[in-house]
Amino acid sequence: MADVLLKAIKKSYGPVEVIKGVDIDINDGEFVVFVGPSGCGKSTLLRMIAGLEDISGGTLEIAGRVVNDIEASERGIAMVFQSYAIFPHMTVRENVAFGLTIAGASKAEKEAKVAEAARILQMEHLLDRRPSQLSGGQRQRVAIGRAIVRKPEVFLFDEPLSNLDAALRLDMRIEIGKLHKSLGATMVYVTHDQVEAMTLADKIVVLKDGYVQQIGAPMDLYHNPANRFVAGFIGAPSMNFLDVEIVSREGDSARIHSDLVSEITVPAWREGVPFSGRATLGIRPQDLRTVDTGGILQGNVAIAERLGIETVVDITLKDGSRLLVSLPEDRVFEPGQPVELGFDPARAHLFALDAEATRNAA
């Protein structure tokens, strides 16, 4: 059982604390994605699990064993790097077999394990090439092959697709998803791309400024973001936020309004949402609809992007703020055209205004 448990993990470089106490439970066989903006500490966290960075505080357990002071090679992990980290002077075969060569494995064992990894990754025809003769996607395949050969209990991926072009990224994303299904190993994957996170993960960990913002299944994060940061980070285009006034609140629902928003009742279950005063209303662009009359919001079209399957409309509200609307159809808008917008208040989100509420909310 290769559970990975992070308990109150901290990391500091001198006086600068970059990971400020993180608790994450990763179950055996789970695909967990660490996601967050640059500098949030997600890569550092992964490197601490790998054993490439010392752990400044807290305990790290892999498969029931505290590994804080155990060498990277003894932790039962394999890592795939963003820059592939394949050895340029070795053939693909030698690269994939590197760990076995180090361990002094026999030639027959190497042959067998390399062949198996090559079969899983469908790269038998590449084995005798050198890295300089490979494309980015093929190189990343070699790096994954080297990881597979180690038969690790935990795979660690550090932004493995960031150096690939968009089309290849999609292919490799699907490959990695399949690989997880076929190997059934625990995988921890770091990315700044929320689409990768949403599509691959069993569980997403959203990090910001060294704190966990929320841990949960992709759809859980999408539908019930714990705070404004998670709400804005998950989903594309990003959620719209509007300042509103709470008129009254009863239990988990509140009546709100503002100069822009006519009075509606929205869910208000989040911790820290006040009973009166100002708050932030969040609405996903996909939840907004144009209506003929009686809309909740009014504005003018600034620009519309037609993508065929959807139309993303940038709307300027009365006070000059922007709002994005994503309509699931191809529609033509004229710049400056006035629009009325409506949405289902039950699908709106209410957040506390206080920026501190995004901290350590989980």
Partner 1 sequence: MASKLTRSNRAGWLMASPGIALIAAFIILPFFLAFTFSLTNQRLASPNPTKYVGFENYRDLLGLAYFTLEPERDDAGAVVRSADGDIKYPRLRNFTRNNPDYPNLQGKREWFSWQSGENRKVVLASDVVFMKALVNTITFVVVVAPVQAGLALILALLINQKLRGISLFRAVYFMPVVVSIVVVSLLWRFIYSPGDGLLNNLLSALTFGAFTPQDWLGNPSTALGSIIAMSIWQGVGFHMVIWLSGLQTISPTLYEAAQIEGSSKWQTFRYVTWPGLRNTAILILIVITMQAFALFAQIEVMTQGGPLDSTQVLVFQAFERGYGKQDISGGSTISVILFIIVLSVSLLQRWLTREKK
DSSP track, 8-74: EEEEEETTEEEEEEEEEEE-TT-EEEEE-STTSSHHHHHHHHHTSS---EEEEEETTEE-TTS-GGG
Does the protein bind partner 1 through residue 79 (CB under 8 A)? yes
Question: 129-148: which residues touch partner 1 (CB under 8 A)?
Answer: 146
Cβ-based nearer residue to partner 1, 78 or 350 = 78
The Cβ of residue 339 has, within 10 Å, a number of other Cβ atoms equal to 18
> Tokens standing for 300?
């003018």
Q: Least Å distance between CB 73 and partner 1? A: 3
Does the protein bind partner 1 through residue 247 (CB under 8 A)? no
Q: Which of 61, 57, 50 is nearest to 26 (CA)?
A: 61
Region binding partner 1 by CB under 8 A among candidate stretches 77-85, 113-121, 236-244, 286-294: 77-85
CA 302 to chain centre: 30
Using CB under 8 A, which of 8, 103, 112, 355 touches partner 1?
Answer: 103
Does the protein bind partner 1 through residue 241 (CB under 8 A)? no
Cβ-based nearer residue to partner 1, 74 or 330 = 74
Using CB under 8 A, which of 5, 18, 70, 85 touches partner 1?
Answer: 85
Region binding partner 1 by CB under 8 A among candidate stretches 48-56, 223-231, 232-240, 271-279: 48-56
Cβ-based nearer residue to partner 1, 83 or 276 = 83
3-state SS, residue 317: strand
Strands of the sheet containing 311-317, edge to edge, are: 289-291, 338-342, 297-306, 311-317, 322-327
Cβ-based nearer residue to partner 1, 36 or 152 = 152
- Amino acid found at 297: L
Residue that is written with structure tokens 């279950």 in the block? 269
Residues that bind partner 1 (CB under 8 A): 50-52, 71-74, 77-79, 81, 83, 85-90, 98-99, 101-103, 146, 150
